[in-house]
Amino acid sequence: MKKITQTDRAPQAIGPYSQAVEAGNTVYLSGQIPIDPATGQVVEGGIAEQAEQVMKNIGAVLEEAGCSYADVVKSTCLLADMADFPAFNEIYGRYYELEPPARATFAVQALPLGVLVEVDTIAVKAEQEYSY
C-alpha cells in the first residue's frame, strides 16, 4: 500500500505528481526545484542560492514523511550546467556531512522553469523499536 506525503512547507507540484510517496518503509521524493514555498517563485541568485532552497524543500518533505536527511539513501541531482558542480556540491555536502547517501549527478539540457538544479531523493525510515 502506498501513502502520499504533502506539505505546504515545500513547493506544490507543478504537474501530475506527489511531493513524496511512501511504500513500505521507503519514501520516494519527487524532484525538488528551488521554488520558495512562501512565494511560489523561483529563488533569485545563482546555483548556491538555488541549491540551498532545494535542500530546504527536501528537508520539509522528509520531515512531513517522518524522516530526516540521515534517512536518505540515494539522490539524483540534475544540473543545468556541470560547471556549477563544485558550488552545488558544497551546499549539498552541508546536509550530508556524515554517511552521505549514494548519488548520481547529471548535466541536463533544461530543467522546469529554467532553474539551475533539481534533486530527487529516496529515504528509508528507520525500523521502529518495540518494547514489550
Given a contact cutoff of 8 angstroms between Cβ atoms, the answer to whether 107 and 82 are in contact is yes
Over the stretch 81-124, which tens digit does the pLDDT of each residue have?
A: 999 999 999 999 999 999 999 999 999 999 999 999 999 999 99
Cα-based angle 32, 35, 38 (whole degrees, multiple of 5): 125
Count of CB atoms situated within 10 Å of the CB of 27:
25
Q: Which among 7, 2, 113 is positioned nearest to 56, based on CA atoms?
A: 7
Strands (E), the chain: 2-5, 20-23, 26-32, 35-36, 41-42, 72-79, 102-107, 117-124
Write down the pLDDT at residue 126.
80
CB 20 within 8 A of CB 60: no
pLDDT at 130 over 50: no
The closest alpha carbon to 76, from 46, 108, 47, 45, belongs to 108
- Structural domains in the chain, CATH included, are 2-124 (3.30.1330.40)
Top pLDDT among 15 and 32 is at 32
Q: Quick count: other Cβ atoms within 10 Å of Cβ 130?
A: 5
User: pTM of this prediction?
Assistant: 0.93
